[in-house]
Structure 1
Amino acid sequence: MSTVEKALAAALYAESDEALDTGASLLAADPSADDELRLRGERFVRRAWEGGWQPADVLRLVRRDLGQAHERLAAGLITAETKRYGSRLAPRFRAQLAELEGPQPPRQDRFTHATALLELYRLLSRLPAIEPVGPVPGEPLSAVRAAPHEPRMIGRIRALLAKAEATGYPEEAEALTAKAQELMARHSVDEALLSARTHSPDAPSACRIGVEAPYETAKAVLLDAVAGANRCRAVWNSSFAFSTVVGFESDLDSVELLHTSLLVQGATALAKAESAQRAGGRRRTKTFRQSFWTAYASRLGEHLAAVADDVVTADLLPVLASRDVAVTAHADRMFPETTTTRVRGVTDLDGWHDGRAAADRAERRGPTPSGGGLARRRRP
């Protein structure tokens, strides 16, 4: 039995620090085992791809459960393992690789480095299989849209949302976001009409979007609202901090863009709301922030749905209905069993009102807080 095999046998299947120390000591004392240890790590990464995971999913979990140093180690393994596939990578998978952190962690003594690797390998070895959202690296890409360039409409939407994030005027941010949602809805309609006229074999696909703590339930509700307004379905996996969004490819692009922007805008608005509360002599708490995010998600869900509905005329309903049926059927195949999660009751009125105001400055008065908002959740 090699040193690596002995170390893995000691560390991977035991929870105790003592077992981890034993494995790390074996590796630290044998520099000749380094190459085999690295190859074992790449095998764990490959097994993750075969189990439906993608780079962003793995790194999100490593960052949450271990830390940034382990995340950098994982990024290095992922980069090394995926080099062998060349261009045989789906566009979304390739885009995630492009965002990996470049710098490796600072040099550590051999024992500390071996300990971190074993902790990482232990996490990777225990990843369960999840619903795939694209081909495994190296497999044929015939079913994946090539997407050699970004559509002009998506570029305009991206620019509007960037302005909304940058402006210091809430009313302007709201107007820019509403315009972006309108363009998304029109783009979705145009894609549907083009597909119907050309009898395109276009079919729904899926992507995963991170939904991370804190206040992840409200953020999942926000993503569900964004997905629904853009003719997609979102299913939240709270255990692994992501939602899977099912829809047509152009609509998935819109959901990713808008959700990311709304989180940035929401965080900025929350910081201003907390500052104003402190200036008034009131101490802000976790319940204030929870209530803020719940109200923000709830109000935006109403607003985005209304903007999207305004774009759809009666003559478009048959074409869009067929796409809605296709998306629902694809989501039901991926997730035959889901549950519904309700956001817990709102307990801070100031947070609720500030959250609604951040979502819609034009409407200062809203319904009585009830903790509104639902998220579809994958059944464990």
Structure 2
Amino acid sequence: MATEGTYIRTSGIRPDALLVELTGAYERGWQPADVLHITADGGDAADVPLAAAAVLFEATLSGAADRAPTDWVEQLRTIADRHPVAVPVTAHPDDFGAGLRATLPNATRYRIDGLAFTWKYLPRFARLTPPPSQWPHHRSAPDGTAAPAPDPRILDRIRGLLSKAESTDFPDEAEALTAKAQELVTRYSVGAALLAGPSTTAHVRGRRLHLEGPYIREKVLLLTAIGDANRVRTVWFTRVRIATVVGSVVDLQQVEMLFASLLVQATRAVSAADTAGRRGGATAAFRRAFLTGFAARIGERLRAADARATAGAAADAQIPVTELAPILARRSDEVDAEFARLFPTTRTARSRGVDADGFHAGRDAADSATLTPGDHPLAR
């Protein structure tokens, strides 16, 4: 985001221009949560309430609550919860400026111009859901992009467990809460694959995750390792710090839950790691390597757990594992096809050298991470 020292003024921009540039960004593939993320990432915290006000004002004007895809509506709900200041909505977008002056006194002409200028030049993004111009007059039930979703009661339990795990100051309590969340995730995912059967086409879609520093590259490695173990493809956009994961609804939810859980464990482990004798850049290099090793080992453990879960699920269902494996392979093929459609020109990121001590320390910490209740550290 431009600051007062670097911003080049453009003349004639009015407050309602924010709405024009916002809808333009939506047509280029951006979604409400993406717009808030890129605004916050610009570095000027005062721009975020202004961005939220524009997003929510536009949502009311466009009738998003009744017309937008369900994922879009959920993003709007989250934004409204985090930014409760609402701009009164009138019959015409030209009145947006008057509403801003009434609710956000610090929304100066200078700030409005800068935000509109930024949104105007947001690049094209892959469309994960239809933009507002393609919404129906009234969303059907389910809407055109909806798919059978995981049981919301289970998701609420998982989110609650992970929230408690992230907020507690006691590592043992956090580990127990995370283990329980992972148990619910694994049990539900395997059961969903069995219930779908061999002839059901998976509902494959993309979902964006907004990552924050420090050590973003290493966090992407962890996300990718978790996704690879769960038939989910990951692409990372460095400049905007947004990852897109592509997979079935159930597998995407599993990856998000595991990522949140294991990121908590990785953060605690790297904070507790012995960095004695290292300073400055050496400490940062150790921690980057630590998280790289953690991600690599977690990927190995999850792939092994997936193989065991597949065999166990087949045994519980009294079917040969050879009948279950093709179902999962077919879903992987469907994910690959959708990924190629959304991102036809991706490239594989190259690895870089890391601190050997940190890398192996991270692998050791990953061996101690819990994947299911009763799971013990691997013998070494």
Partner SS, residue 338 of structure 1: coil
Counterpart-to-counterpart distance in 2, 1:148 and 1:356: 34
Does structure 1 retain, via aligned residues, the 8 Å contact 2:150–2:250?
A: no
Counterpart-to-counterpart distance in 2, 1:173 and 1:217: 25
Counterpart-to-counterpart distance in 2, 1:360 and 1:173: 17
1:16-55 CA-to-partner distances (Å, cap 9, x unmatched) read: 94742x74xx77xxxxxxxxx2321111111111111112
Does structure 1 retain, via aligned residues, the 8 Å contact 2:236–2:244?
A: yes
1:158 corresponds in structure 2 to 159
Structure 2 CA distance for partners of 1:229 and 1:364, relative to 1, 3 Å: closer
Counterpart-to-counterpart distance in 2, 1:292 and 1:282: 14
Counterpart-to-counterpart distance in 2, 1:135 and 1:18: 33
Partner SS, residue 207 of structure 1: strand
Does structure 1 retain, via aligned residues, the 8 Å contact 2:148–2:249?
A: no
Most deviating of 302-311 and 136-145: 136-145
1:135 corresponds in structure 2 to 130
Counterpart-to-counterpart distance in 1, 2:306 and 2:147: 27
1:96 corresponds in structure 2 to 75
Structure 2 CA distance for partners of 1:244 and 1:335, relative to 1, 3 Å: same
2:366 is the counterpart of 1:359: yes
1:207 Cα shift? 0.6
1:101-145 CA-to-partner distances (Å, cap 9, x unmatched) read: 32569633x7xx222212211110001111111122461453222
Partner SS, residue 87 of structure 1: helix
Does structure 1 retain, via aligned residues, the 8 Å contact 2:185–2:257?
A: no
Most deviating of 354-363 and 147-156: 147-156
Normalised TM-score (structure 2)? 0.76
1:217-244 CA-to-partner distances (Å, cap 9, x unmatched) read: 2111111111122221111111221111
1:265 Cα shift? 2.8
1:304 corresponds in structure 2 to 302
In structure 2, the gaps of 5 or more residues are: 86-102, 312-320, 369-375
Pick one of 62, 78, 92 that aligns with 2:55. Answer: 78
Partner SS, residue 206 of structure 2: strand
Partner SS, residue 226 of structure 1: helix
Partner SS, residue 247 of structure 1: strand
Structure 2 CA distance for partners of 1:232 and 1:218, relative to 1, 3 Å: same
Counterpart-to-counterpart distance in 2, 1:338 and 1:203: 22
Q: Which amino acid aligns with 1:309?
A: A
2:220 corresponds in structure 1 to 220
1:149 Cα shift? 8.2
1:188 corresponds in structure 2 to 189
Does structure 2 retain, via aligned residues, the 8 Å contact 1:174–1:359?
A: no
Counterpart-to-counterpart distance in 2, 1:307 and 1:163: 25
Q: Which amino acid aligns with 2:330?
A: S
1:339 Cα shift? 1.0
1:153-178 CA-to-partner distances (Å, cap 9, x unmatched) read: 43444355445545666577567646
1:185-237 CA-to-partner distances (Å, cap 9, x unmatched) read: 4423322332237x555421111112333322211111111112222111111
Structure 1 residue ranges (4+ consecutive) displaced by more than 6 angstroms after TM superposition: 146-149
2:253 corresponds in structure 1 to 253
Structure 2 CA distance for partners of 1:233 and 1:96, relative to 1, 3 Å: same
Structure 2 CA distance for partners of 1:114 and 1:215, relative to 1, 3 Å: same
1:98 Cα shift? 2.0
1:284-323 CA-to-partner distances (Å, cap 9, x unmatched) read: 6221221222122122111222212211122310211111
2:65 is the counterpart of 1:65: no
Pick one of 334, 338, 342 that aligns with 1:326. Answer: 334
Does structure 2 retain, via aligned residues, the 8 Å contact 1:133–1:207?
A: yes
1:34 corresponds in structure 2 to none
2:345 corresponds in structure 1 to 337
Number of matched pairs: 332
1:74 Cα shift? 0.9
Does structure 2 retain, via aligned residues, the 8 Å contact 1:59–1:71?
A: yes
Q: Which amino acid aligns with 1:102?
A: H
Partner SS, residue 236 of structure 1: strand
Q: Which amino acid aligns with 2:113?
A: L
The equivalences for 1:250-289 within 5 A come to 250-273=250-273, 277=275, 282-283=278-279, 285-289=283-287
Does structure 1 retain, via aligned residues, the 8 Å contact 2:7–2:114?
A: no
